[in-house]
């Protein structure tokens, strides 16, 4: 008899979620400690050369728009401030830990970060988020897919195949084929890593807004939902032949009207060189 | 930009814009406006060219066929459909390096 598969079963029997990397844990701790200084944060990053290098590359990329080229982490921390640095280190860590996914998911994740940023930049929007933060949300939205690629590559490919042939989005098939979808897996990882609740629930609900129990968190999920759809339409999906879901409810929740879409898309299209730049910075 | 070039398909939901078809030098796809008016979107040039995206609409009450620039009907389209149309236009005619549309 087959054991029914669900997220609990997968996390117990098949998937081992990567633990919170030490550098990121230390930085989150320092940023929450009123006694610590920005220079302590800089030192903690420097102690992990791989993360330090990626953080510097990111800080110097067009995405962060620094006017001067920074060559030390301390300098980057001073220029960008604690919150942006936390996002940068989070970004660098995620891709350092999971960087073997060099295929479509990687490119799609970066594009989704830029798409989410473009939505925020076009404002006003019903979300208390800065464009830089929105970038990180988008970047992380399919993190569960990277884990499924690691542990259940064949099942994931099968789900994507069914998605293509039945013309329905892959996440709808993942539950059938795998027992949970990539959003559940990603949401669990974000929770395990003690990332902010708004990120964890947005990842969990980015294909199914009903997984959020209030409109505030639904709006974060809606941002990821529209960013994902923008990427698929733009030809930058997470799997070949991706089928886009209905993002109508998400646009409405965000309060974005059709007349604002051209400005959002122009910003998104103009940011395409950053996909390449960031892919290189993080590889 | 040298992005990987997957053969993704545009929207399938609020509008059947997943079947863009090549027609001469242009690309054509069916569209339904919020008020139920049906028609076609005709893409013939990039975003910065006036008339690069046109809507050819048949009034619900059987009036004459009208041809309007996309910008004139934005409010009558769902946001997701505007995304789909602009992405198709950019992929077919734009210079941002997005993967090609490959209409049928
Ligand atoms: Fe997803
Ligand atoms: Fe996605």
Average pLDDT by stretches of 10, chain A with 283 residues = 75 86 83 84 87 86 81 87 80 73 82 96 86 90 91 92 90 92 95 89 97 94 98 94 92 96 97 87 74
Ligand closest to Cα of A171 equals 1
Is B100 inside a domain boundary? Answer: no
Ligand closest to Cα of A187 equals 1
pLDDT on residue B61: 74
CB contact under 8 A, B3 and A107: yes
Question: Whole-prediction pTM value?
Answer: 0.89
Q: Provide the residue range defining the domain that includes B87.
A: 21-93
The Å distance, Cα A86 to ligand 2 centre, comes to 23
Nearest CA in chain B to A255: B79
CB contact under 8 A, A251 and B90: no
Segment B45-63, tens digit of pLDDT: 999 998 999 999 987 777 7
Strand partners, B30: B40
Listed in sequence order, the residues at least 6 apart from A154 whose beta carbon sits closer than 8 Å to its beta carbon are: none
Compute the distance between CA of residue A198 and CA of residue A181 in angstroms, rounded to an integer: 19
Q: Is B92 on the interface with A (CB under 8 A)?
A: no
pLDDT on residue A102: 58
Cis peptide before A124 (omega within 30 of 0): yes
CB A119 within 8 Å of CB A254 = yes
Contacts of A109 in chain B (CB under 8 A): none
Cα distance from N-terminal residue to C-terminal residue, chain A: 43
Is B87 inside a domain boundary? Answer: yes
Compute the distance between CA of residue A118 and CA of residue A3 in angstroms, rounded to an integer: 44
Q: What residue ranges in chain B does DSSP mark as E strands?
A: 21-23, 26-32, 38-43, 53-58, 65-69
**ipTM, two decimals:** 0.89
The Å distance, Cα B69 to ligand 1 centre, comes to 34
Is B27 inside a domain boundary? Answer: yes
A158 to each of A17, A154, A167, A171, A199, how far by Cα in Å?
A: 22, 6, 14, 12, 28
* C-alpha torsion sign, points A230, A234, A236, A237: positive
Is B57 inside a domain boundary? Answer: yes
Q: Which two tokens stand for residue A250?
A: 């998400």
Q: Which two tokens stand for residue A35?
A: 């006694």
CB B33 within 8 Å of CB B82 = no
Kindly report the nearest CA distance between residue A19 and chain B, in angstroms: 30
* C-alpha torsion sign, points A88, A221, A257, B33: positive
Pairing of strands B21-23, B26-32: antiparallel
pLDDT on residue B19: 79
Compute the distance between CA of residue B66 and CA of residue B58 in angstroms, rounded to an integer: 7
Q: Is A236 on the interface with B (CB under 8 A)?
A: yes
CB contact under 8 A, B1 and A275: yes
pLDDT on residue B73: 96
The number of distinct structural domains making up chain B is 1
Q: How many CA atoms lie within 13 A of A204 on its CB side?
A: 20
- In chain A the domains, ranked by start, together with CATH numbers, are 19-98 (no CATH), 102-283 (1.10.3210.10)
Q: Reduced to 3 states, what is the DSSP secondary structure of residue B77?
A: coil
Is B3 inside a domain boundary? Answer: no
The Å distance, Cα A97 to ligand 2 centre, comes to 19
Is B72 inside a domain boundary? Answer: yes
CB contact under 8 A, A262 and B84: no
Ligand closest to Cα of A144 equals 1
Q: Reduced to 3 states, what is the DSSP secondary structure of residue B59?
A: coil
Compute the distance between CA of residue A173 and CA of residue A70 in angstroms, rounded to an integer: 45
Q: Which two tokens stand for residue A112?
A: 């989704």
Q: Which residues of chain B have pLDDT under 50?
A: 1-16
Is B101 inside a domain boundary? Answer: no
Strand partners, B65: B58
Is B98 inside a domain boundary? Answer: no
């Amino acid at each position: 008899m087959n054991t029914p598969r669900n997220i609990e079963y997968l996390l117990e029997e098949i998937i081992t979620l990567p633990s919170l990397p030490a550098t990121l844990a230390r930085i989150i701790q320092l940023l929450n400690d009123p006694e610590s200084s920005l220079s302590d944060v800089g030192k903690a990053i420097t102690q992990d050369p791989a993360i330090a290098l990626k953080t510097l590359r990111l800080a110097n990329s067009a995405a962060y728009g620094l006017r001067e080229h920074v060559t030390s982490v301390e300098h980057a921390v001073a220029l960008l401030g604690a919150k942006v640095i936390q996002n940068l280190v989070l970004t660098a860590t995620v891709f350092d830990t999971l960087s073997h996914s060099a295929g479509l998911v990687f490119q799609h994740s970066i594009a989704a970060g830029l798409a989410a940023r473009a939505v925020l930049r076009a404002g006003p929007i019903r979300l208390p988020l800065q464009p830089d933060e929105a970038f990180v949300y988008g970047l992380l939205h399919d993190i569960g897919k990277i884990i499924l690629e690691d542990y259940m590559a064949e099942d994931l490919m099968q789900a994507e195949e069914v998605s293509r042939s039945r013309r329905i989005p892959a996440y709808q098939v993942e539950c059938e084929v795998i027992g949970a979808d990539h959003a559940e897996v990603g949401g669990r990882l974000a929770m395990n890593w003690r990332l902010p609740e708004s990120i964890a629930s947005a990842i969990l609900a980015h294909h199914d807004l009903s997984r959020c129990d209030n409109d505030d968190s639904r709006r974060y999920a809606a941002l990821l939902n529209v960013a994902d759809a923008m990427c698929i339409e733009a030809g930058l999906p997470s799997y070949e032949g991706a089928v886009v879901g209905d993002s109508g409810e998400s646009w409405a929740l965000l309060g974005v009207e059709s007349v604002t879409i051209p400005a959002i898309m122009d910003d998104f299209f103009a940011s395409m060189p950053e996909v390449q730049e960031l892919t290189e910075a993080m590889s | 930009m040298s992005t990987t070039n997957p053969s993704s398909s545009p929207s399938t939901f609020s509008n059947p814009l997943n079947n863009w078809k090549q027609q001469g030098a242009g690309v054509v796809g069916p569209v339904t406006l919020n008020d139920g008016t049906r028609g076609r979107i005709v893409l013939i040039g990039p975003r910065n060219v006036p008339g690069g995206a046109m809507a050819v609409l048949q009034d619900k009450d059987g009036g004459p066929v009208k041809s309007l620039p996309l910008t004139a009907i934005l409010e009558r389209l769902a946001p997701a459909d505007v995304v789909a149309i602009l992405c198709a236009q950019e992929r077919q005619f734009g210079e941002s390096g997005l993967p090609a549309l490959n209409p049928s």
